[in-house]
Amino acid sequence: MRIVAVCGSLQRQSSNLALLERASALAPEGVEFPIFDGLRDLPLFNPDEESSTNDPAVSAWRRVLAEADAVLIATPEYAHSLPGALKNAIDWVIGSNELYRKVVAITSAVAGGQRGRRGLAALEQTLRAVDATIVWNEPIARGPEMDAEISLLLRALVDSSGAAAT
């Protein structure tokens, strides 16, 4: 089974990237867990170029999603929404369908409380455009319970993906 991880933040020391790296360490045996780090390389989405682009970053993004059984997105909330780089990346695959009906978990590494929920709601709404199957839509608080929450998230992805982890 292959779960592709995507960090919505371009920040080098992102707590969401740290969450994905921890998820990689906690992934069940038999689960491949590549972290896609190419959002920063994607050009701005242009509908005139959507079907004819030969851009290597767009091709890599589409390929990694097409090869995935499931996707895990960890993203910060920016201005009560999702980061522009993440929205741009999703726009590149709306028409080409690599995320169509894909099993997806979305989360945000937060300090606690209700933080991150508006950004996740905006991301969920965007993913509904491709009929993604959202199996997790909760922020995860940094701290002693983080590993347990990440393990639950991973279990939801594995159980919902239809692919068998060995």
> Is 85 within 8 Å of 10 (Cβ atoms)?
yes
Residues 117-162: tens digit of each pLDDT? 999 999 999 999 999 999 999 999 999 999 999 999 999 999 998 7
Return mean pLDDT, the chain: 94
Place of tokens 């937060």: 110
Q: At residue 166, does pLDDT exceed 50?
A: no
> Is 146 within 8 Å of 114 (Cβ atoms)?
no
> Is 6 within 8 Å of 73 (Cβ atoms)?
yes
Residue percentage of the chain with pLDDT more than 90: 90
Q: At residue 164, does pLDDT exceed 70?
A: no
Structural domains of the chain ordered from first start: 3-161 (3.40.50.360)
pTM score, whole prediction: 0.95
Q: What is the mean predicted confidence (pLDDT) over 95-120?
A: 94
What is the distance between the alpha carbons of residues 53 and 165, in angstroms, rounded to a whole number? 34
**Predicted pLDDT of residue 163:** 59
Residues 43-53: tens digit of each pLDDT? 999 999 988 88
**Predicted pLDDT of residue 52:** 84
Q: What is the mean predicted confidence (pLDDT) over 79-84?
A: 95
Residues 6+ apart with CB under 8 A from 131: 100, 101
Helix (H) or strand (E) holding 40: none
